[in-house]
Amino acid sequence: MNLTIYTAFWCRDCREAKNFLKKHNIPFHEVDIETTPGAADELVKNVGKRAIPQFVLDGKWVQPYRPGKGFLYKEMSELLGVQEG
């Protein structure tokens, strides 16, 4: 599994997503849209807006949170094959 997460240092949902991945020992590559040239443009190109966090899982873009609802623990646990609890 190849996982990249698009984040920014100020993003609370991004910290939550990274903590989830670390808790389950899921390796990931982080791309900070504030410090990586072209990263924000890549985000807009693929999802239509600067919405973070975003996972890119084996080339497929996945939004791991729902605005107003937060991180999607159940859905991401199923997607990544981990037990949440």
Using an 8 Å Cβ cutoff, are 8 and 33 in contact? yes
Enumerate the β-bridge partners of residue 6.
31, 54
**Residue 79: DSSP 8-state:** H
| In the chain, where the domains are located | 3-80
**CATH of 3-80 given 3.40.190.10, 3.30.360.10, 3.40.50.720, 3.40.30.10:** 3.40.30.10
Neighbours of 52 (CB within 10 A): 25
pLDDT at 85 (0 to 100): 60
Q: pLDDT digit string (tens) for 32-84?
A: 999 999 999 999 999 999 899 999 999 999 999 998 889 999 999 999 999 86
Determine the Cα–Cα distance for residues 71 and 15; give it in Å rounded to an integer. 10
pTM reported for the whole predicted model: 0.92
**pLDDT for residue 79:** 94
Residue range 7-30, pLDDT digits in tens: 999 999 999 999 999 999 999 999
- Phi and psi angles of residue 20, each rounded to the nearest 5 degrees, phi first: -60, -50
